[in-house]
Amino acid sequence: MPYRKVTNRDWWRVGGYTLLTFVIIVVTAVILIPMAGSVGFVVWLALFVSGSLFLLVRWHAINTAYRCPACGYEFEISVFTDLVSLQVPNKKYLKCPKCGKRNWATVLMKD
């Protein structure tokens, strides 16, 4: 599958999805606060927030790939690995499946 560098348009798309997720969580919380008891509300909100974040991470895992800086190998990762790996803008700390080295892999977008 062909990969490409991350563009400003991609950053805007990720930011939009993140903002949309945040707005949905806040609106849901504001609507549910008067309707639910404190314990039920906290449990429901925690489930809703974790579900929303899972969908966001799943979208990211499906639409991104990574390039190993040591050997140049391009690879994809699972949703779980995407969730638990350290990340900074344009980099994610991963173990390359080809050379086995841990390094800050460059984020690529899938076409």
What are the tens digits of pLDDT across the range 7-24? 889 889 888 888 988 888
In angstroms, rounded to a whole number, what is the distance separating the alpha carbons of residues 76 and 94? 11
User: Which of 46, 20, 21, 42 has the alpha carbon at shortest distance from 33?
Assistant: 42
In angstroms, rounded to a whole number, what is the distance separating the alpha carbons of residues 92 and 75? 12
Amino acid (1-letter code) at residue 66: Y
pLDDT tens-digit readout, 74-90: 999 999 999 999 999 88
Q: Could you tell me the two tokens for 34?
A: 């008067």
Q: Could you tell me the two tokens for 41?
A: 């509300």
Name the pTM for this structure. 0.74
